[in-house]
Structure 1
Amino acid sequence: MKNNSGFTLVEVIIVVAIVAVLASIAYPSYEQHIIKSKRSEAMAALINAAQAMERFRVSNYSYDLPNGLSDVFAIQVPVDGGAKYYDLTVVDTASTYTLTATPVGSMAGKDSALTLTNTGLRTWNGKNCWPEGSNDC
């Protein structure tokens, strides 16, 4: 009798099916993790931009930036260059400002805009909170 070694077609199909099931479970979780990490970077950029706005106000007695947010802070996330996934904008007057991070590029359609005002009000997806800030957001 000849002793054959190797895998049968049925065994290979079973392994491929198991890998496919595991990938179908793991990939959406991975994608959500990437979205969360990019959103966290946008939230950090908004906080840093707000600090830059406050420093500008201390020096100039006004939030009114002559050339927009680019006067005091980067206008994209990631702030150090690379492919952007959020655009930062500001609507400012002498006494108020509203910073907004709008998803673009790889985040377009996957997330909602984040906002931060001079009073500290944070909004996301129609709610007055940021997603990683509480369980009810």
Structure 2
Amino acid sequence: MNQKYAFHYVTCGFTLIELIIVVAIISIIATFSYPSYTSYVVKTYRSTAKDCLAEYTQFMERFYTINFAYHQKIAGNALVLPNLDCATQGNMQQRYLFTADTLSRSTFRVVATPIGIQAKQDTLCGTLSIDQTGLNTASGTEGSKECW
């Protein structure tokens, strides 16, 4: 083997310094992009929860139209909030728990309570709710104006 080919093999590879620089650049990019990504995911699930609360509100209004009360059926059976598709699709059951409270003949409030990773990451808005008058609330630090 002559010197020409040996020298050629040495100049074709990456040095350790070049590899460390590439890893450092990737680490810096990941450091800034991961929080933005998780924030986007949290906002997406929150938006889906708000849409689902709107569907539950529509369910409650249909229930009232049939039974003339929000809290029970005409036969006297208490309201059992169904699992609507919006609450079970797209991993929503791992992010939010949907319930109804403040039930009476003329009032209701449907609530989306964050659970699991959503509860840890969404401290800005927290628990979302809407009542029969359309009043939106959020328990987090941002309040309902920013969250709805």
Q: Provide TM-score, normalisation by structure 2.
A: 0.78
Q: Is 1:68 aligned to residue 109 of structure 2?
A: no
Structure 2 gaps, min length 5: 73-77
- The alpha carbon displacement at 1:110 in A equals 1.8
Residue of structure 2 in register with 1:115 after alignment: 129
Q: Deviations over 1:3-49 (max 9, x none)?
A: 32111111110010000000001100000010011111111110000
Residue of structure 1 in register with 2:95 after alignment: 85
Output the aligned Cα RMSD: 2.0
Letter aligned with residue 129 of structure 1: K
- The alpha carbon displacement at 1:76 in A equals 8.8
Q: Is the 8 A contact 1:63 1:94 kept in 2?
A: yes
Find 1:56's aligned residue among 46, 63, 66.
Answer: 63
Distance 1:68 1:39 in 2: 24
Structure 1 gaps, min length 5: none
More helix by share: 2
Is the partner of 2:137 in helix, strand or coil? strand
Q: Is 1:100 aligned to residue 116 of structure 2?
A: no
Poorly superposed stretches of 4+, deviation over 4 Å: none
Query: Rg larger in 1 or in 2?
Result: 2
Q: Provide TM-score, normalisation by structure 1.
A: 0.84
